[in-house]
Amino acid sequence: MFFIQDAIKFPDMVHAVKEEPDRAFPQAQSAHDNFWDFISLTPESMNMIMWVMSDRGIPRSFRFMEGFGVHTFRFVNKAGQSTYAKFHWKPKMGLQSVVWNEALKISGADPDFHRRDLWNAIQSGNFPEWELGVQLFDDEFADRFEFDILDATKLIPEEVLPVQPVGRLVLDRMVDNFFAETEQVAFCTQNIVPGVDFTNDPLLQGRNFSYLDTQLKRLGGPNFTHIPINAPKCPFHTLQQDGHMAMQNPKGRVNYEPNSWGGEAGGPRENLEKGFRTFPAEVSGQKERVRSEKFADHYSQARQFYKSQTEVEQTHVQMAITFELSKVETPAIRSRVVSHLRTIDEGLAKAVADGLGLDTLPEAAPPARKVVDLPPSPALSILKNGPKSFAGRKIGVLTTNGADGALLEALQKAAKAEGAEVELIAPQIGGIKTADGKHVPAAQHVPGGPSVLFDAVVLLPSADGAKQLAQDADARDFVTDAYAHTKFIGYTSDALPLLKRAGLVDDAVDGGVIELKSGKDADGFVASCRKLRFWEREASVHSV
């Protein structure tokens, strides 16, 4: 879903979240007064706020994100019959996010983390893949649904209307030139194919108008469809030509239709049978610039989303909103947001208020329409829809000269069998020599390879190497961050000096910190990593 219902508010929403115009900061973040002032005065945004303040807002990778069409479209068959359709992209490798502190450190350690992740996956042949699915329904379903299905701030729970798979998307190559294929690409919501049509979704209608204007301005003129990345890949027929920066120049006399020139000289003709046909929807009543009463419930689905999260995920929502509002300088704005949270969930509001140090809770925001206590939707939770394997993930092995080569090989073998990857982090980028004399190259240098870049870590130094790493602040941070971010940590007995210097004494070790005594333990460690995180640890290392 989205923040707003009315397309005319699009510029206001975008302006509010951008840097404040009198100071040009903060950039690329929403934690400031203008954004939260707008949100606190726009209750329809509350459902989207729950989403962006949840773990969905900080994905582990583009490969582990869901995608949504947001709007309701129509499928129209040959007989002219219409079925409503909402589009979904489901990642083949499941959903996964990071925690907030980890996201901040990833941005500092590797600002290109997400791009690099896609590049590496495609280059290695582990092509990112999503399944395309649709939710299909008719007018009878739409009429009895609790909300207006044309409201872009709402969704239809998958438990009410399952997503039906219809296709897939596989990214199997990188672009040849990023300017030509990425910077110049022109996405327009009005670009549809026969069989797909629009609905009267007011936000979609506004986007259909504005996106063409956007591309005319951004790409310099009406012929942006001549640019190769935007040009049709199948034969097409049109009499449109000329204009600014035309790159296709048809021959002949005719540039209009209808015309009396016969045969090929007359060019393409309108065809009522094969041409595009829109659905003949019946329309009645007055034309007014108002929203229907069914658009007025701004809190029910926001509450449903929050209730659908696990306790861990709910804590993350609390922490995210608390962080954002802690950057807001105006107390009245903070209080207004908390008043909306009270209408969504009292526990959420109290946790945020406590985190902000509010002396008293503001009164709950009065809803325009009675809040419906909808049942939880498990499909809205990331942790309830995680992957069934550790495939596509990465283990970082912090190692030194003299490390156990057999155990390292066993780890690499177990990870490969799982479809995961192992990267070595060493004191020198040139790599290490294992105890049996083999040279193994390193992918990362200790200062440049923090644990935030990995899904799980293993501490595999020699005894002498561990003592040296224990004196290195970067190595200690590698361990403490992995622990704080609830990652699975494998270690050998030789690594104990580093563990202890990093603060992981006996009472801090838990089921997610696993000793590897020999190569036989490698398979078990990788199997444990299928859970992705040892969430049981989080309550002891974080609070709102």
Tens of pLDDT along 347-372?
999 999 999 999 999 999 999 999 99
Q: Which two tokens stand for residue 212?
A: 């063409």
CATH code of the domain containing 251: 2.40.180.10
Q: Is 519 helix (H, G, I), strand (E, B) or coil?
A: helix
For the chain, report the end-to-end CA distance as a whole number of angstroms: 27
- Give dist(CA 54, CA 97) in Å, integer: 10
CATH code of the domain containing 364: 1.20.1370.20
Domain boundary among 205, 232, 256: 256
Q: Is 164 helix (H, G, I), strand (E, B) or coil?
A: strand
* Average confidence (pLDDT) over 138-167: 96
* Average confidence (pLDDT) over 213-228: 92
CATH code of the domain containing 431: 3.40.50.880
Domain boundary among 192, 227, 256: 256
| Number of structural domains found in the chain | 3
pLDDT given at position 543: 55
Residue 217 within a domain: yes
Q: Which helix (H) or strand (E) holds 306?
A: helix 300-308
Query: Residue 286, CB half-sphere, CA atoms under 13 Å: how many?
Result: 5
Residue 264 within a domain: no
- Give dist(CA 506, CA 500) in Å, integer: 8
Cβ-contact 392, 419 below 8 angstroms = yes
Is the pLDDT reported for residue 125 higher than 70? yes
- Gyration radius (Cα) of the chain, Å: 28
Residue 184 within a domain: yes
Do both 375 and 405 map to the same domain? no
Do both 328 and 225 map to the same domain? no
- Give dist(CA 133, CA 89) in Å, integer: 6
Q: Which residue do the tokens 């872009």 mark?
A: 152
Do both 50 and 161 map to the same domain? yes
Cβ-contact 239, 254 below 8 angstroms = yes
Do both 493 and 379 map to the same domain? no
Query: Residue 53, CB half-sphere, CA atoms under 13 Å: how many?
Result: 29
Cβ-contact 457, 395 below 8 angstroms = yes
Is the pLDDT reported for residue 28 higher than 80? yes
Cα-based distances in Å from 40 to 5, 13, 340: 15, 12, 7
> Residue 444 carries which DSSP code?
E
Do both 377 and 428 map to the same domain? no
Cβ-contact 41, 336 below 8 angstroms = yes
pLDDT given at position 315: 97
- Give dist(CA 49, CA 318) in Å, integer: 12
Do both 183 and 143 map to the same domain? yes
Residue 360 within a domain: yes
Residue 278 within a domain: no
pLDDT given at position 544: 45
Domain boundary among 332, 356, 384: 384
> Closest Cα partner for 484 from 533, 526, 519?
533
- Give dist(CA 266, CA 235) in Å, integer: 18
Quick: pLDDT tens for 473-483: 999 999 999 99
Do both 334 and 246 map to the same domain? no
Residue 219 within a domain: yes
Quick: pLDDT tens for 376-434: 999 999 999 989 999 999 999 999 999 999 999 999 999 999 999 999 999 999 999 99
Quick: pLDDT tens for 484-508: 999 999 999 999 999 999 998 776 7
Cβ-contact 507, 124 below 8 angstroms = no
* Average confidence (pLDDT) over 4-27: 95
> Residue 25 carries which DSSP code?
B
Q: Which helix (H) or strand (E) holds 412?
A: helix 405-418
Quick: pLDDT tens for 163-210: 999 999 999 999 999 999 999 999 999 999 889 999 999 999 999 999
Pairing relationship of beta strands 129-137 and 196-198 according to DSSP bridges: unpaired
Do both 346 and 396 map to the same domain? no
Quick: pLDDT tens for 35-70: 999 999 999 999 999 999 999 999 999 999 999 999
Per-residue pLDDT band at 325 (split at 50, 70, 90): very high
Cα-based distances in Å from 351 to 102, 330, 338: 22, 19, 10
Do both 35 and 90 map to the same domain? yes
Do both 133 and 186 map to the same domain? yes
Do both 309 and 344 map to the same domain? yes
The letter for the amino acid at 134 is: V
Q: What number of other Cβ atoms are within 10 A of residue 343's Cβ?
A: 21
* Average confidence (pLDDT) over 87-113: 96
- Give dist(CA 499, CA 505) in Å, integer: 7
The letter for the amino acid at 155 is: L
Residue 42 within a domain: yes
Q: Is 153 helix (H, G, I), strand (E, B) or coil?
A: coil
Do both 359 and 500 map to the same domain? no
pLDDT given at position 506: 74
Residue 190 within a domain: yes
Residues spanned by the domain of 453:
390-541
DSSP labels for 155-206?
Answer: ---TTTSPPEEEEEEE--S--S-HIIIIIT----TT---TTEEE---HHHHH
